[in-house]
Structure 1
Amino acid sequence: MRRICTICARGGSKGVKNKNVRPLLGKPLLAFSIRQAKLSGLFNYVAVSSDSKEILEIASFYGADILVERPADLATDESAKKPAIEHCVKQAENITQVAFDTMVDIDATSPLRLVEDLQGAVRFFEEGNGSNLITAMPARRSPYFNLVELNEKGFVQLSKELLQPVVRRQDAPKCFDMNASIYIWNREAFWEKSAIINDDTLLFEMPEDRSIDIDSELDFKIVEMLMNEKREIYEALFI
């Protein structure tokens, strides 16, 4: 099985300035994802895509096998994620002359994942019959119980209603929050399906304390706190 891991890290960020190179436990944020991918033992190559020379230099220092310069039109605030991953894989295949069977993308802004999460997600995917996989955590709010929206009259209604109303959150159907940590595709789905969620998409569950995606200063503080609580686990990535 030929696998590639891609990590797409833009130079610009509005929510948290320069977040992909911002230090956590004395290391750039990006470095944690690179080391997790390398230490997993899963991948033929780990490729980092960026529009930033600084990020690509950091990626090389921490062990990325392939550095991909991302075109400006794939690195704007409005750019979708999937085309950037596709560009990275295409460049990697041109460089290595390898046609990958399994494509795995991990988000640099979700550094709390463990190597075991990566290994478990890939194993679950390759043992299953889905065309792709996303990771998620149990949702704090349920659209059947306490997630609401405004209707056309401006009044509150539940986001999803059942024929039999739910009176306890525990009785609601189980729901998940996507945590933007790990995405996996088989080759056919990767090149033929543009959507992230399809009819045969699998879900790999991760705990909340490893599912924070850094999108704000508050997120960064939470990740920093959680990493400090288990710093020996995250520092071991660099030994």
Structure 2
Amino acid sequence: MNDLKIAALVPMRHHSQRVRNKNFRDLAGKPLFHYIIETLAACPEIDRIVVNTDSQPIQEDLAAHYPQVTVLVRPPELCADDIPMNDILLYDTEHVPADLYLQTHSTNPLLKSSTVSKAIHEFLDKKDAYDSLFSVTRLQTRLWDRFTQPINHDPEVLLQTQDLPPVYEENSCIYIFTADNLRARHNRIGRKPLMFETPVEEALDIDEESDFLIADLLMKNRLRS
């Protein structure tokens, strides 16, 4: 199908600001970060999985359970909380050659391998027209800005929410890009990006303690069924 080499990049910090130890905290029976590694490993399109981390426990766990994963030890200058993700991706792409890069997060445990594979295929089918891909969640609800101005609806016309024109939230589940575009724009999203809609039930990103609890319940339900 494709002779391009694809590397999956997964940044993982040891320190977490809002959910303590979230990357290696137990979720539905195993460390949170195991889910995304296993999801990516199940995608035949991906040639290499790369974890950029400053965490010794994560490095040791990867060596024990996923020796096929390439570990990049994050240098101290990239460890601060305010370092942009694009700087970390620039570091990764300098050290791991590939034709395409797919970036996701350990905080997306509900993301399925079939969805990742679908995103790759969709981008490859349309790569002559687009220079990158990012995943989104469709929203069909009444949205307002901070000045109480309607964003996607006319308050004088009370449409059913399912009839509203959709807007899309960047959900941070999947990004696909080339090193050249990343360097040129210092951004993983290019000038001609393709939006890829992911199922709502897979798009949960663990950012707060409540997100972790919800993801734990959803994963336990998925495993039971």
Aligned to 2:17: 14
| Residue 42 of structure 1 pairs with residue 34 of structure 2 | no
* TM-score of the two chains, using structure 2 as the length reference: 0.88
The unaligned stretches of length 5 or more in structure 2 are none
Cα separation, 2, equivalents of 1:166 and 1:175: 18
Cα separation, 1, equivalents of 2:47 and 2:98: 9
Distance change (3 Å), C-alpha of 1:150 and 1:186: closer
Distance change (3 Å), C-alpha of 1:149 and 1:22: same
| Matching residue within 69, 72, 78 for 1:68 | 72
CA contact (8 A) 1:134 1:201 kept: yes
Alignment deviations for residues 101-130 of structure 1 (CA, whole Å, 9 cap, x no partner):
110111110010111011001001111121
What SS class does the counterpart of residue 148 from structure 1 fall into? coil
| Residue 132 of structure 1 pairs with residue 132 of structure 2 | yes
Give the C-alpha shift of residue 196 in structure 1. Answer: 4.1
Give the C-alpha shift of residue 193 in structure 1. Answer: 2.1
Give the C-alpha shift of residue 5 in structure 1. Answer: 0.7
Aligned to 2:116: 118
Q: Given residue 211 of structure 2, which amino acid in structure 1 is its aligned partner?
A: D
| Matching residue within 199, 204, 209 for 1:217 | 209
Q: Given residue 73 of structure 1, which amino acid in structure 2 is its aligned partner?
A: E
Aligned to 2:173: 181
CA contact (8 A) 2:43 2:117 kept: yes
Alignment deviations for residues 48-103 of structure 1 (CA, whole Å, 9 cap, x no partner):
001111112222333242110112232222111111122122222xxxxxx31110
| Matching residue within 59, 63, 70 for 2:62 | 59
The unaligned stretches of length 5 or more in structure 1 are 93-98, 234-239
- Aligned pairs, number: 218
Cα separation, 2, equivalents of 1:20 and 1:59: 12
Distance change (3 Å), C-alpha of 1:57 and 1:115: same
Aligned to 1:158: 150
Superposed CA RMSD in Å reads 2.1
Aligned-residue sequence identity (percent) comes to 24
Q: Given residue 147 of structure 1, which amino acid in structure 2 is its aligned partner?
A: L
Q: Given residue 80 of structure 1, which amino acid in structure 2 is its aligned partner?
A: P
Distance change (3 Å), C-alpha of 1:161 and 1:194: farther
Distance change (3 Å), C-alpha of 1:140 and 1:161: closer
Give the C-alpha shift of residue 45 in structure 1. Answer: 1.3
* TM-score of the two chains, using structure 1 as the length reference: 0.83
Which of 41-50 and 214-223 deviates more?
41-50
Aligned to 1:202: 194
